[in-house]
Amino acid sequence: MKELDNLRSSYENTLAKVKPAPEPQRQQGDEEGSNDENGKKEQARQALDDDTIKAIEEMSTGAAAGEYTSSAAEHAMTGTHTEGTSTVVGNPRMTETTYKGQPARLLEVCVDSSNVKTVDKDGKELPSDNTPKRSLNIYTLVQVDGKWKIAEHDWPNNANC
């Protein structure tokens, strides 16, 4: 459980430090509103500085790394970041399992994010949507080179907790 707390804290700290992305350079022939998926992924990756990419790679792998990279890139491209920390409430459940053929831990934790806010580049808090402040999160942790990393992060259909 301590591994997950450290990994979640690392992710929150990374989102708090995301730097705004430079304006994208348009190439001749680029169309406004292009829907090229590979281009979007590359633009998202270019929006992040090396420290952010390294931090994401240190804490995650697989699908979770993709999710966290996309989230950080969204913050970079919009000039926003998060402030505050979430906390685990209640009694987390852990199950030993496998992930892609290797030993893994599946953790179900209730996360309270009521102390987390998103702010713009001027430090102004953005309006909160109707997302519940407490939600059940499901994490799959695997060891990569002897270090625990988040491989998957998901929510059940009913994430109330």
Flag the least confident range among 33-42, 106-115, 130-139.
Answer: 33-42
Confidence of residue 43 (pLDDT cuts 50, 70, 90): low
pLDDT over 60 at 38, yes or no:
no
Spatial separation of the C-alpha atoms in residues 155 and 153, rounded to whole Å: 7
Q: What is the pLDDT of residue 60?
A: 96
pTM: 0.79
The CA distance from 87 to 116, in Å, is: 10
Q: How far apart are CA 150 and CA 96, in angstroms?
A: 14
| 143 pLDDT above the threshold of 80 | yes
Residue carrying the six token digits 């996360």: 111
Fold (CATH) for 2-18+36-154: Nuclear Transport Factor 2; Chain: A, (3.10.450)
What would the mean pLDDT of 8-35 be, rounded to a whole number?
69
- At residue 24's C-alpha, the angle toward residues 22 and 25, to 5°, is 120
Pairing of strands 134-144, 102-112: antiparallel
Collapsing DSSP states into helix, strand and coil, what is residue 43? helix
Q: What is the pLDDT of residues 88-122, one digit of tens each?
A: 999 999 999 999 999 999 999 999 999 999 998 88
Give the model's pLDDT for residue 131: 74
- Average confidence score pLDDT of the chain: 85
Q: How confident is the model at residue 63 (pLDDT cuts 50, 70, 90)?
A: very high
The secondary element (H helix, E strand) that includes residue 144 is strand 134-144
Query: Cα torsion for 28, 29, 33, 34, to the nearest 10°?
Result: -120
Q: Which residue has the higher pLDDT, 48 or 25?
A: 48
Q: What pLDDT does residue 33 have?
A: 47
